[in-house]
Structure 1
Amino acid sequence: MADAPARPMKYPYTFSAKIAQFPFKFYVQNQWIWRYWMIGIAVASPVFYKIHKMANSPENVSIWAEKRKKEAAAHH
């Protein structure tokens, strides 16, 4: 990441200047919610990936296609 500007604005009026001067490091180190949010994403990602792989497996897709075909036939 680039170094902080030598003379930051007294009031950052542009959106990019506000982002550049926001103390992200301070908040991540001193507020619990950011740490638990990151830990939660790290723990939940493999679980969601596994569910996604199981739900979109070729066998499951064909089962659901057959169910939709039977349901559509019942409505006609």
Structure 2
Amino acid sequence: MSDAPGRPMKYPYTFSAKLAQFPMKFYFQNQWIWRYWLAGGVVLSIPIIYKIHKLANSPENVAIWAEKRKKEAQAHH
């Protein structure tokens, strides 16, 4: 059994065939948005993730979480 078909389909009907024939390399090399989308997304989301992390791990929130888990453990035993 061969690894790939002899020629590509004239019109790819399925999503996976369309994805396989999509010229990703061309788009990455010739359009700026594809290259900077990932880097920009990471740079813009790091402050948001940091603030959520800071809120979730505040001492007050950690104490509330510990108290809830203590009550839950007492209820099960």
Give RMSD over aligned pairs.
3.0
SS in 1 for 2:38: helix
After superposition, give the CA deviation of every residue in 1:36-64 in whole Å (9 maximum; x if it has no partner). 211112323432331221020142536xx
State the distance in 1 between where 2:25 and 2:8 align. 17
Question: How many percent identity over aligned positions?
Answer: 57
Show structure 1 runs of 5+ residues with no match.
63-76
Task: Give the alignment's TM-score, normalised by structure 2.
Answer: 0.60
- Say how many residue pairs are matched: 63
Q: Report the AA paired with residue 37 of structure 1.
A: W
1:73 corresponds to which residue?
none
Do the aligned residues in 2 keep the contact of 1:54 with 1:60 (CA within 8 Å)? Answer: no
Partner residue of 1:51?
A: 51
Gaps of 5+ in 2: 63-77
Change (3 A) 1:55 1:61: same
Number of the residue aligned with 2:17: 17
- Work out the CA distance in 2 between the residues paired with 1:44 and 1:5: 43
Q: Following TM superposition, by how much is the alpha carbon of 1:6 offset from its aligned partner in structure 2, in angstroms?
A: 4.2
1:23/1:52 CA distance change after superposition, 3 Å: same
Q: Is the partner of 2:59 in helix, strand or coil?
A: helix
- Distance in 1 of aligned mates of 2:45 and 2:6: 39
TM-score by length of 1: 0.60
